[in-house]
Structures are given as C-alpha cells and as structure tokens.
Amino acid sequence: MNVKLLYFASLADRAGRTEETRDSAARTPRELYVEVAAAHGFAFAAERLRVAVNGAFVGWDHALAAGDEVVFVPPVSGG
C-alpha cells in the first residue's frame, strides 16, 4: 500500500527530504518506522518519537490504511 510520510527536524535532515510517498507492506506505524529507519539511517528508537496518522496522534500499533499520511515526530529542544 502507498503511504505518505512527512519528516521534520533531524529526521528530515537525515532523510534529505521533508516528505516521500512509499509503497510498504507495513501494517502499523511501528513496522513502517523500522522500514524507513533502516532506509534512511534514523538513530532514534521508536519509543523516543511520537507518531501521527492523518493529523492525529496515535499509538504505535494503530492499523495503517492505503493513502494514510504518517508523521514521525522527533524529540525537540528549545528555549
């Protein structure tokens, strides 16, 4: 199935892009993150990130559907 991924902050830097459409057999955000982390060399463990699907924060075991927009939100610092 095709999903659209959006990347922010350090994940966008590492991926070299802010978004991509990916054909994946992943059924959950956790499976999808394992796939894209391997492809782009992401160093964060999933537990350090938040995940949103179609604009809403969800759990890592949320069921994905074709056409979903998935965002992995890395930890940020600021002041």
- At residue 77, the pLDDT reads 59
pTM for the full predicted model: 0.93
Overall CATH class of domain 2-73: alpha beta
Q: Give 10-residue mean pLDDT values along the chain (79 residues).
A: 95 96 97 97 94 98 98 79
User: What's the count of helices (H) and strands (E) in the chain, helices before strands?
Assistant: 2, 5
| DSSP 8-state symbol, 27 | -
- At residue 75, the pLDDT reads 86
DSSP states of 41-78 as a string? T--S-GGGSEEEETTEEE-TTPPP-TT-EEEEE-----
Domain locations along the chain? 2-73
